[in-house]
Structure 1
Amino acid sequence: MTDHLWPAPTASDPVDAVVTVPGSKSATNRALVLAALADDPGYIRRPLRSRDSTLMADGLRAMGVGIESTLNSSSGVPGGGDAWRVVPLPLAGPALVDVGNAGTVMRFLPPVAALCDGPVSFDGDPRSYERPLGGVITALRALGARIDDDGRGALPLTVHGTGCLVGGTVTLDASSSSQFVSALLLSGARFQQGVEVRHVGDPVPSLPHIRMTVEMLRAAGARVDAPEDGGEPDVWRVAPGALLGRDLVVEPDLSNAAPFLAAALVTGGTVLIRDWPRHSSQPGDQLRELLTRMGGSVEPTDEGLRFRGTGRVHGLEADLHEVGELAPVLAAVAALADSPSVLSGIAHLRVHETDRLAALAAELNGLGGDVTETADGLRINPRPLHGGVFHTYLDHRLATAAAVIGLVVPGVEVEDISTTGKTLPDFPGLWDSMLTGTVVKG
């Protein structure tokens, strides 16, 4: 075994743990953008501190935003605790933004850069060059931005900001990523004419993420019209206006709770996720229903959400178009089920951190599984699995899926478990703590 392989721990008993998962990546990165564009300073409390959120904060700092970390300190912070204090300052270039392989950073920050006074260049990991970005580039040009990308419609690129953007109405195809819509909405209140985004094409995936964007914009004082309010289908509007500096507490990342809940299911144990909100726009909130259908039971409590496995794991037929980020862990659980599963509506996962459908099929089959790709998903026929190397393709959700398999299949070795740092810092430590029955603090 080489140094980059992590021996996935096998559970000798049903897990029984209390888990505190870190803050939501989606909420943290949206909050950073909104705070940077606000008229007054604000606080983001209990943020996710991971590679993706650090890249977002560093990108905004490069454009002139003041972001002060108060990690493990209550000095100067009302209420104390872990927080970022964000001080909006004049946006200016020249600046260089490293997006890594973070979809939110590569899509949310070019509209912010268009408001800078000066050029802002964007670059990232090799995989970031392959991820869809053309919709944002084309839309920004239609709204008045000047962008140099050598005709690629992808990274690397430079946004030549002039200190303002006209804005107005724009039509785009967001069928490859809901982030195209969110990117324009988040900065839209600062455009001179606001923004009206009209989607044309196949259905937009991951609509809960757009609903999260709308809710957070409204909480920051923006006037937003959205389809779910009875407006036109596939049309979102943000009126021009000021954004409020806020004191925001970030919800736990419910999607990152997926491997821990799955651990309870596949081992027949119990996991309590602390501080699970009673209402949430996060896609991960659908784990309650999906994993219950696969054989578990949920109980909301004052402390959080308690999830119990029953000792049996059932197959699942589900359209995951709105919650594609849950597919890797659900596929891992399905490979351990007592009946076949069909996961559909997730063709867009082929252009995420990696081609997640091809990767899941290859890696689960490499452990003895029977997984085939369909036009828009996966068909999984459970078979006895064996140990082996599970490659992660630098994809954090592939790594956590492999850890779930390893709980009940001895000998699973996960390549580059450190990739989980994208959204779950110290995942191996959290996983070990869960297995020892101690309180898991993310």
Structure 2
Amino acid sequence: MDRVIKKKKWTTKKILTIAGIAGIIALLAASYYFTSGGAKLNVDTERITISEVTKGPFQVTIPVNGVVMPISTIYLDAMEGGRVEEKYVEDGAIMKKGDPIMRLSNTDLELSLVNQETSVYNLLTQMQIARNNAVQNTTTKLNQMTDVENDLKEAERVYNLDKRLYEQKVIGSQEFQQAKNKYNYYLEKKKLTEQLLEQDSISTKQQLAQAGQSYQGSQNALAVMRQKVGDLIVRAPVDGQLTSLDAEIGQNKNKGERLGQIDVLSGFKVRVDIDEHYISQVYNGLEGKFTFANKDYKLIIKKVYTQVTNGRFQVDMAFEGDVPQGIRRGQTLQILLALSDETQAVLVPKGGFYQQTGGNWIFLVSPDGKMATRKDIQLGRQNTDYYEVLGGLKPGDKVVTSSYDNYTNMQELVLEKK
């Protein structure tokens, strides 16, 4: 007799099929949960940094390095080329204006000086001879003038006498006419002699003036030549410290070659290197500050060098107020340079979160401190300590400012203290 076999409702195949479908549904749900913005992550509060948003004074600043330099530097260049014969001081010596530093020798220059001196002496001798000749010539003409005047007086006397005798019919017209002609002759001769004497005086003055000018020019040339020879002794142009001396005995130096420098010790300035990114924001009058021996000091930009080299440009800063005691040339200072005026702003402390978010969002901690939710924000300027908050946060809010390396896909952080 046949027996009815009951059909099983839950076969192995059916169970496996249902389990597979349920797994797929769970996977899809989990995927939707994590990609739809609802992802959560438990985080130990000891491994993150929570900071408070505040409102206070804000100023755009950048850290820069500066090197202490003398207030001014005078470079020593060889005025004339020559061989180093003597060194009177060594590098680092404190100098007074006019103190000798080294002596050079230049045979050609010294020979030119001797030739110039000889030329001046010869010219002086020639000028003295010319002056003597002019005096003798003038004396001769004065003697001639005296003779002419004497002859004129005698001719005038005879003429006046013969004139009276002629009027009295004592002498004839022939004798009177001879006396008259002789008188007129000496009268004209006197005028001519006076003209010659005047022309000779003018000519003598011109010759002496030209000789004097020539002699003065030679004297000036001699003075210049002596100055050139004198420049072979290199002297300190100002009071200061001799540095970067580059000369050894026996070494040849060309004209214009750098020999060293004198650092004026009356004060210091700071030469600062700045990234070219800030060149449009840097100008004279900007202030900076630094700490030296646990005390704060101020600097102010006095000169901007706009030439960019290797992506950087330089500025000179002067001390504003007190100068640190014990500061030395070549010392490096870490300066905080202000690029803006101080204003009131909402501030969030700087942290590693910015590298992952670009300042577009941040984890905002709930008032009870148990959760941190992703929050869109807007940041503006920054300095070494803070970002300026333009929107999304208010003073008193607490945010996670540490790195978000493992949280970029999270929507919420569950804060736990383990």
Is the TM value for this pair above 0.5?
no
Which structure is richer in relative contact order (CA contacts within 8 A, separation 6 or more)?
Answer: 2
TM-score (norm 1): 0.18
Give the alignment's TM-score, normalised by structure 2. 0.18
